[in-house]
Amino acid sequence: MPRIAVCYLVDRRGRVLLQHRDEHAPRAAEQWGIVGGHVEDGEDFDTAVRRELLEETGVRLGPEELRLWWEGDFAYSDGHRSHYRVYAAQVDLTDADIVLGEGRAIVFVDPEEALSLDLAESNAHLLPRFLASDVYRGWTTV
């Protein structure tokens, strides 16, 4: 089963960093997903999420800055399954600090707006749960 390491970054205003995937994405093309991706052979989840974050956004975070929020299997409607580890971190960054390394856009999105976007299937499942989590609520004052 493919292993996937992704990360929700939350800015000081409570906005969540999301990636607008382009037409070349092998899954969820032209939809909004979570920054991150496949864990490579010989790589662990913790290393993979930091590598993916750096490659896709230019953001370098240490292991102590990332918090494991959720781990489990996700089954897509077409029957494809992947094992996910979803990390989260609160960051003092803005869109200007993000380097677009992959996809159409990677930006911080207001939570209410995020839920109305055309979300990738996995993100449509996970994002509402993340926004309702104690982790996210602990980082916001709203």
CATH number, domain at 55? 3.90.79.10
Owning domain of residue 99: 3-139
Strands 3-10 and 81-90: what pairing?
A: parallel
Q: What is the pLDDT of residue 141?
A: 59
Model confidence at 22, in pLDDT bands (50, 70, 90)? confident
Q: Quote the CA–CA distance of 92 and 126 in Å, as a whole number.
A: 23
CA distance 4 to 120: 14
Q: How confident is the model at residue 29 (pLDDT cuts 50, 70, 90)?
A: low
pLDDT of residue 8: 98
Q: How many domains does the structure of the chain reveal?
A: 1
